[in-house]
Structure 1
Amino acid sequence: MACRISELVLDCVDPERLAVFWAGVLGYVEVGREPDGGIELGPPGTGFGGPQPTLILSPSSDPRPAKLPLHLDVNPTDRDQDAELERLLALGARPADVGQTGEENWHVLQDPEGNVFCLLHARISPVGPGTV
């Protein structure tokens, strides 16, 4: 037996604002709301338990933005890295400096609340309903 990542939880000040951002980045939709104001996003038509983990934006008055021990990496699926970078910046991402040399083939970015994530170079296939 093994475990599988089913959800990623991101503490944030404004779940509504980050839901718009991350839904746009990942192509996710709202799949649920928590009683505490948290918002769960997931792939359209699958949601929790599907082939991809859902993202829960959990309200917190003390989130720790910037470089955390764990961060998200995203890859473009339908365009090259440069075009995807432009799209993410238009959604509200900002470049982040965490000590990279400039020789990396990925971009370090921040979401609108300062949470760091990376846009990787490789273009990967999208995951659709029924895909494992």
Structure 2
Amino acid sequence: MTFEWKLVVDAADPHAQVEFWAAALGYEIEDNSALIERLLGFGAVSVDETVERWGRRAFSDLVAVRHPDDAVDEQTGAGLGRRILFQRVPEPKGGKNRLHIDIHAGGERRDAEAERLVGLGASVTRFVQTPGGQWLLMADPEGNEFCLQ
């Protein structure tokens, strides 16, 4: 048996995080506006739980990116494949990530890709070289570590 899944990342600013990761991975920001409008109409959510972003209504405290080639649930706007959901939490990030994303740019493109990611708000933490390979340890705008290979 297999299951659909998504990676959920806690964030101080989920909208800024989703913009960074959409640009970093070439993913699309999910459009949940049709679902939100239905929920507003039913009174299930209030306008205070939403924001205007990207020319449409979005949830205030959570938003996701999805792979552009994966299917989408037309009723909710949620991706049905590879996706990352960012949810607002009150506490700051503490300590090293126990789970992280590896971006595989390829050795010949790694430096240019690192420069692009830094331009998007990432930072380079350190260069790692082991007998098994080499990569850059980087951090997204909220300090979540990821590797660029």
Query: Which interval holds the TM-score relative to the shorter structure?
Result: 0.7 to 0.9
Distance 1:36 1:110, change over 3 A: same
2:119 equivalent to 1:90: yes
- Aligned AA for 2:2? A
Identity within the alignment, %? 33
Output the CA distance in 2 between the equivalents of 1:74 and 1:18.
16
2:75 equivalent to 1:49: no
Aligned residues: 113
Distance 1:72 1:96, change over 3 A: same
Q: What is the root-mean-square deviation in Å for CA atoms of aligned residues?
A: 2.3
2:97 equivalent to 1:68: yes
TM-score, length basis structure 1: 0.73
- Aligned AA for 1:75? H
Output the CA distance in 1 between the equivalents of 2:117 and 2:21.
10
Larger strand fraction of residues: 2
Question: Residues 1-132 of structure 1: matches in 2 within 5 Å?
Answer: 1-3=1-3, 6-33=5-32, 35=59, 37-46=61-70, 47=72, 48-50=79-81, 53-76=82-105, 80-97=109-126, 102-104=128-130, 105-120=134-149
Larger helix fraction of residues: 2
Bigger radius of gyration:
2
How far does the alpha carbon of each residue in 1:7-46 deviate from its partner, in whole angstroms, 9 at most, with x for none?
A: 1111000011111111110111111457562001112253
- Aligned AA for 2:121? G
In structure 2, runs of 5+ residues without a counterpart are 33-57, 73-78
